[in-house]
Amino acid sequence: MADLVEFRMDKATDPIDQLAAYDGELPILATNRNRWFGGTADDDGRLDTLVAASRFDDVALVDLELETARGTSWIVDDLRANDVDVVVSHHDFESTPDAEVLAAIVAECAEYGDVAKVATYPDDLSDTLTVLEVVRAATAAGRSVAGIAMGELGSHVRVIGHVYGSTLGYAPLVDDDADYAPGQIPLRQLAALIESTRVGDVAFDAGDVPAVLDGTDAAPPERPRSD
């Protein structure tokens, strides 16, 4: 049902040891956020720890903030040297930029990363349409992009984003009591909704949308968690 498990290293007690002990079947998307980007990791050594994580065979992707990729020239090259794909992400926890600005952000994320991920907070339904349209246009232009509208108002974007080309979907397990963002839909429910909204005649393949499961302060799970 899920294709990846996201391991939030910043919420783990000993992330490198926990990666070494991982014996699950799903590949890992490693994320290590500091508080400026909604996480808890200390700035000191955060990126070195992320690079260390990328050396594990189970780690297939690493999430890196656009601001970090832009300001730290060595990090993307070091991650790619360990044969992982880089998801370059941008989060706006307060608003949704207009379409032109958001499209420019996606383009910059794509310059640095293999997948451009944008997550914004919608104030009204027109903002969710902006996210979907920017994802559609970026996909049509040949970019690999993931678009998320946060909060309850944006929850439907998590369901139909794949129709417009969004390449990652995040969802928690229904029995996961971790503190996830409002608007997230439990994994089985999201998977069923995505399956029921597949569109066969769109210009791009809306079929294979990886479901990403979130990590907590436990070791990466043996079964998928999603965001």
Between CA 176 and CA 214 the distance in angstroms is: 10
Between CA 53 and CA 218 the distance in angstroms is: 16
Between CA 24 and CA 87 the distance in angstroms is: 22
CB crowding 106-122: b at 16 or more within 10 Å, else e: bebbbebbbbbbbbbbb
- The yes-or-no answer on residue 117 being catalytic is yes
Between CA 128 and CA 87 the distance in angstroms is: 21
Nearest to 28 by CA among 48, 50, 51, 56: 56
**CB contact set of 126 (below 8 Å; sequence gap of 6+):** none
Instruction: Check: CB of residue 144 under 8 Å from CB of residue 115.
Output: yes
Q: Is 178 helix (H, G, I), strand (E, B) or coil?
A: coil
Helices 73-81 and 46-54 sit at what angle, rounded to 10 degrees? 20
Triad 166, 8, 116: Cα angle to 5°: 25
User: Residue 193: which H helix or E strand, with range?
Assistant: helix 187-196
Looking at the annotation, which residues are catalytic?
Answer: 91, 117
